[in-house]
Amino acid sequence: MKLLHIDSSALGANSVTRELSAAITARWRDSFPQVQVEYRDLDANPLPHLTAGSLAQADAAEAADAATVLAQFLAADVIVIGAPMYNFSIPSTLKAWIDRIAVAGKTFKYTESGAVGLAGGKKVVVASSRGGVHTGAPTDFQEPYLRQVFAFLGIEDVEFVRAEGVAFSPQHRSEALADAHRAIPRPVALAKAA
Ligand SMILES: Cc1cc2nc3c(=O)[nH]c(=O)nc-3n(C[C@H](O)[C@H](O)[C@H](O)COP(=O)(O)O)c2cc1C
């Protein structure tokens, strides 16, 4: 079994999503000691914006990194993503990563009857944090966006571990974090993973 762990928070050691994504990954290691974990910190090691040059593979180093990112995603059985809400959506570093994994012919394709995801059979667990409270509100362009991106790629098994209202007060933050830790889902064996 392969687990890909992604972080995108710019808040370093103070990050809620980094704490939660690490705890989720640790839970998988505890449950499945044979799991192979790969890690990408998109804050420390960001991908460039997708440009015309990227599509033309003008920069060999950028193209090689993009190929690595896509291969890591395709190989993963479980993807754990630290995804804070930034300006009602996700950090641009995480969007840049999504731009490299959503590749026609690799992770989705178009047919005469519409789009078909090609990356099914994976599980995604998102560690989500927001300063305010947005669940179910029209202000949430973070979690529904991520759910839509992965559904488009054929992945319907997407779980969110959420801390909300963390900016309201230190007490709100610590209670929301404790609740989120308690809500981490129990890892389950996946049908496709060896
Ligand atoms: C650049 C930036 C933009 C943010 N935008 C929002 C926002 O639109 N709505 C919100 O509720 N919180 C917002 N926040 C608060 C974060 O969602 C909150 O601090 C969260 O814990 C960030 O995750 P992290 O602790 O893993 O970095 C923002 C924080 C930053 C740093």
- In tens, the pLDDT along 75-106 reads 999 999 999 999 999 999 999 999 999 999 99
Q: How far from the centroid of its chain's Cα atoms is residue 147's Cα?
A: 10
Q: How far from the centroid of its chain's Cα atoms is residue 87's Cα?
A: 17
Give the pLDDT score at 60: 98
Give the pLDDT confidence of 137-189 residue by residue, as tens digits.
999 999 999 999 999 999 999 999 999 999 999 999 999 999 999 999 999 98
Which of 7, 80, 130 has most ligand 1 atoms within 8 Å of CB, for mutation? 130
Distance CA 99, CA 47 (A): 9
CA angle at 4 for the pair 124 and 9, rounded to the nearest 5°: 80
Distance CA 194, CA 77 (A): 9
Say if ligand 1 is within 6 A of residue 127 CB. no
Give the pLDDT score at 27: 98
Is residue 90 within 8 A of residue 145, CB to CB? The reply is: yes
Say if ligand 1 is within 6 A of residue 8 CB. no
Confidence band of 193 (pLDDT split at 50, 70, 90): low
Say if ligand 1 is within 6 A of residue 166 CB. yes
Query: What is the three-class DSSP state of 187?
Result: coil
Is residue 150 within 8 A of residue 158, CB to CB? The reply is: yes
- Number of other residues whose CB lies within 10 A of the CB of residue 1: 18
CA of 16 to the centre of ligand 1 (A): 10
Distance CA 76, CA 143 (A): 21
| Torsion region of 165: left, alpha or beta (phi above 0 gives left; psi -120 to 50 gives alpha) | left
Give the pLDDT score at 190: 85
Give the pLDDT score at 16: 98
Distance CA 26, CA 43 (A): 21
Query: What is the three-class DSSP state of 169?
Result: coil
Domains of the chain: 2-182 (3.40.50.360)
Residue 120 known to bind ligand: no
